[in-house]
Structure 1
Amino acid sequence: MANITLSYLVFPTGRFIGIPQNNANQTITISLGSTVRNLHAQIQQRLPAPFRNVPFFLRAFRPVIIKYIAMREGGNLISDFFDENISTVDVDHIIVEDDVYGYYN
C-alpha cells in the first residue's frame, strides 16, 4: 500500500499542558496499510519523555466536512480513515488528546 503523510496536533490540555509547541505540531509518514495501533505507538515515541506515559486517543479530522472520528486502536487500518489523495497543506489530520476518562484504552 501507499504511504501517507499526516499532520498531527497534540492538544495542550490535561496532562499535555506544557508540551513544547515544536512537539505538539508534527507530521508523520506511515503506510495506509498500517494499523491505528501502530500510528499511536509511533506518535507516542515522538513525544518528549515527560509526556510518553500520558494515555491518549487519536481523532481523524476531515476538514472538508468538518468531522472528527475516533480512531480506535483495534484492527483498524489508516486507510479506513484516509486515502493517499489527502491534502497536506496547512491541515492537521490527526488530533491527539489526553484520554482523561480512559475511554480508549
Structure 2
Amino acid sequence: MAWVLVIVAGLFEVAMALSLKASRGFTQVLPSIGFVLFALISFGLLNLALTKLDVGTAYAVWVGVGAVGTAVLGMLFMGDQVSAGRIAALALIVAGVVGLNLAGGGAH
C-alpha cells in the first residue's frame, strides 16, 4: 500500500508542476490554487508512505514519477521539445528508479 501512495503522490506532483506552469507566475488564480492543493496532497501522501518505506528510494520514485510524467505530458500537450535524447534520458530515469527498487530499497 505504501508504494501505491508514493505513485499517487507522484501523479499529484505532475498535476502540481502543470498547474505551476499554467499559473503564469501565480498570476492566474485557479491554477495557482490548484498548485497549492496538489502540492499539499502530494507531500501528504509521500509523508504517509515514508512511515513504511526507506526515504531515499521512496523519494527517488516520487521524483521519478513526477519528472517523467511531467516531461511526457509537456511533450504531448504543452509543446515541449521532443527528441531522441530527451526520451532516452527519461528512460534512464525510469531505469534508475527500477534499479533502486531492485537493489532492496523497499519497506522497512
The structure with the larger Rg is 2
TM above 0.5: no
TM-score (normalizing by structure 1): 0.25
TM-score by length of 2: 0.25
**Greater share of residues in strand:** 1
Comparing both chains, which one has the higher relative contact order based on Cα–Cα distances under 8 Å and sequence gaps of 6 or more? 1
